[in-house]
Amino acid sequence: MNKLFEAAKKARLNSYSPYSNYKVGAAVLMKDGSIFGGCNVENSTYGATVCAERTAILSAIAQGSNEIAEICVVTDATPPWPPCGLCRQTLTEFGDGNVKVHLANLSGVKESLKLKDLMPYAFLPEHLSKKSKKKK
């Protein structure tokens, strides 16, 4: 876990956040044992901003690793911030409900929970193949 925290803290230093001035770093531990870091990258058209969590996940995917085991998110806030809804959905796409989500600030990990506790009613790929049943 310490390695994951250190990778997220290091990635945070590369944050491009001239609009919010809020640096976020994340690191994902993949099931194959590899770790990928990411930082938030803001854009003047706010909708094009990419969160640290998604940057880390997309880096992993780009390198051919696509099963998340854990993620650590580092901010300088107290308490640390959890992933946003879009990041939670992205985590759900590449990990199951048992993915460990570590919330940390610069002094260390403050809370660890499972993705299913952050996203109890996640929209899953299997929802796309199920048809709604009509009540009679």
Q: Give the pLDDT confidence of 8-65 residue by residue, as tens digits.
A: 999 999 999 999 999 999 999 999 999 999 999 999 999 999 999 999 999 999 999 9
**Cα(134)–Cα(28) distance, integer angstroms:** 41
Whole-model pTM?
0.90
> How many domains does the structure of the chain reveal?
1
| Residue 68 within a domain | yes
Which residues are identified as catalytic?
A: 53
| Residue 65 within a domain | yes
Model confidence at 132, pLDDT cuts 50, 70, 90, reads low
| Residue 136 within a domain | no
| Residue 26 within a domain | yes
| Residue 135 within a domain | no
Report the pLDDT averaged over residues 56-85: 96
Backbone angles phi, psi at 122, to 5 degrees: -65, 145
Q: Give the range of the structural domain holding residue 57, as residue numbers without chain letter.
A: 2-129
- Here the CATH number for the domain that contains residue 67 is 3.40.140.10
The stretches of 40-110 forming alpha helices (DSSP H) are: 52-62, 85-94
pLDDT of residue 133: 52
| Residue 134 within a domain | no
* Nearest residue to 8 (alpha-carbon basis) of 110, 135, 136: 110
Model confidence at 87, pLDDT cuts 50, 70, 90, reads very high
